[in-house]
Amino acid sequence: MRKILPLSILLASLCSSGVHGADSSWTAEELWESWPSERFVTTVAPCLRPARLRQKLSELAARHPERLRLEEVGRSVRNRPIQLLTLGTGERKVFLWSQMHGDEPSATPALLDVTDYLLSNPDHPDAKAILADLTLLVLPMVNPDGSEIFSRRNAQDIDINRDALNLATPEGRLLKKLRDLHQPFLGFNLHDQNSRTAVGHTGRLATNAVLAVSGDPQGTVTPGRRLAKRACSAVATTLAPFMPGGMARYDEDWSPRAFGDNITAWGTPVVLIESGGLPAGHPVTDLARLNFVALLTVLRDLVRDNLASHDPAIYEALERNETDIWSDVIVRGGSILQPGSRQPYRADLAFNRLRSDREIAGCGGNGATTRSAIMEIGDTRYRGFGREIDASSSLIVAPLVAGVEGWKARRWLNGPILDRFAQLGVGTLYWAVREKHRAGATTLAYALRAPGRTRIEVIPETSPRPPLQLTGPPGQPRSRQLGELLRALQPSAKGPTGEAVTAASQEPWQFGPQASEGLPPRIRRGRPASFLLLSHPPGEELNLESAELQAVWIHGVEAGATP
């Protein structure tokens, strides 16, 4: 017998799929597929600096001279122009603004893409309806000074988004002026949140978070805020197929200094959309793509039925954003052995690689100096991760520390040699030189830096030395046992009195930062993720000499691996 679906369920299914009758309405899937070829801005969002944005805005205005208005509406602290796009002829106004924080750029190119898409398809029923019913006020970059240097704050070092009451920033004053002048009936405040924010305790990254911003401490649900909740539900429903399980609800706590909260209080309900982290395999451009799809779909349904087909309960049921419970890499099940101790202890290790969005996009930093930080030592069972390493039969120890003396060492210190040292477990090489050679040695040390490679730290000739002193390139080890690795260093290694250095003595780790600005050879929270994984089956007696080296991590990158 064929099952008959209730009419309410059938209608909800039709609405969520983007199909409304037999019209030619666009669907979220079509928008997603068309964006790569249709997008107007091809510059990756983190690389879109103010000058380039101004160029693209001028091109956009020239492309649609009859239907798009571009005007300079203010200036930043550093006298950079802030420009507003106006399109559409409807009585109802929608205000969309992005990049109040200069290092949160994902929605900025998407706003230009949305504008161009609407104006380039004037005969499409959805575009025609949006432009006839609405007037869109688009402010792509509120904080150009912050964007130029990829900084959250403006040139006064003020967080513009916390300046709604003082109005000490010219950018903040402009935002309020535009809101008061146009009295939009709905606003979209577009941001980027921490890319490691998780969806509740699911262990999944929050690719996006939404918030129907409250206009008072009590969280009163006015008709405007109810509309904002429906808009949030529309965003969540629209983006669910593209990033399953990646939608969260932003912190709803009242923020009395914030613009979103105050703009809602002033009479314009605000929808906050935060771009977040992407699952492995997704390019950073997908964040702009998601904004493009979400905004066009919400605008379509806003015109069609004022978002009546979207149930606020969908938004209210979203898991909340959670911070500090997701890490790039987690090493699970191992035991940590600290220098100077013979007793390991059971602990997981979670760490993050610290790279700015511009570094990831390839338009900032040189890529040679990798940074990382250990975020947790202990129980990580409820922490999400990008990569998980099984260390259940491993010891986690600090990398070996070695030293080299004299300016002449420059003759054999090179990238391949440092890579070999890294493969043998040497994390840091302290190079002691005379004062007159320190500048040259420092320059060479910096030039030789690369991800996953032994790092050189230059120290004064009079500084204390690490126990393990090298005089040349290493030999070839016969196995991966730590004792053999140390013996492979013997052609170029000696102890402080000429004797061989052994793993059993723990001397390769006994060197702290007193001789330089280097890092202490201990594994600690907040320190860079540099460590060795040594084989050590549970229950077996500790024997460092015979423990095999399984992996070497230096500043968050595995030696010999692509960072």
Determine the 3-state secondary structure of 73 from DSSP.
Answer: strand
Residues 419 and 455: their CA atoms lie apart, in Å, by 10
Q: What's the token pair of residue 156?
A: 């006064």
Amino acid at 485: L
DSSP 309: T
pLDDT tens, residue order, the chain (563 aa): 333 333 333 334 334 444 333 357 999 999 999 999 999 999 999 999 999 999 999 999 999 999 999 999 999 999 999 999 999 999 999 999 999 999 999 999 999 999 999 999 999 999 999 999 999 999 999 999 999 999 999 999 999 999 999 999 999 999 999 999 999 999 999 999 999 999 999 999 999 999 999 999 999 999 999 999 999 999 999 999 999 999 999 998 899 999 999 999 999 999 999 999 999 899 999 999 999 999 999 999 999 999 999 999 999 999 999 998 999 999 999 999 988 778 899 999 999 999 889 988 889 866 666 789 999 999 999 999 999 999 999 999 999 989 999 999 999 999 999 999 999 999 999 999 999 999 999 999 999 999 999 999 999 999 888 888 898 999 999 999 998 998 888 665 554 444 555 555 545 555 444 333 344 478 999 999 999 999 988 778 888 888 999 999 999 999 987 54
- Cβ atoms of 290 and 243 closer than 8 Å: yes
pLDDT per position as a tens digit, 183-212: 999 999 999 999 999 999 999 999 999 999
Third-level CATH fold of 31-322: Aminopeptidase (3.40.630)
Starting at the edge strand that comes first in sequence, how are the strands of the sheet with 426-433 ordered?
455-460, 426-433, 400-405, 469-470, 493-494
Chain centroid offset of residue 375 CA: 15
For 343, counting Cβ atoms within 10 Å of its Cβ (0-12 exposed, 13-18 middle, 19+ buried), the class is exposed
Q: What's the token pair of residue 161?
A: 């988004």
What are the structural domain ranges in the chain?
31-322, 327-558
Residues 124 and 133: their CA atoms lie apart, in Å, by 14
Strands 400-405 and 469-470, how do they pair? Answer: parallel
Is-above-0.85 flag for pTM? Answer: yes
Determine the 3-state secondary structure of 239 from DSSP.
Answer: helix
Residues 141 and 111: their CA atoms lie apart, in Å, by 10
CA distances for 386 relative to 195, 382, 389, 446, angstroms = 12, 13, 10, 29
> Among residues 270, 289, 263, 101, which one has the least CA distance to residue 189?
270
Q: How many CA atoms lie less than 13 Å away from 24 in the CB half-sphere?
A: 7
pLDDT per position as a tens digit, 468-501: 889 899 999 999 999 899 888 866 555 444 455 5
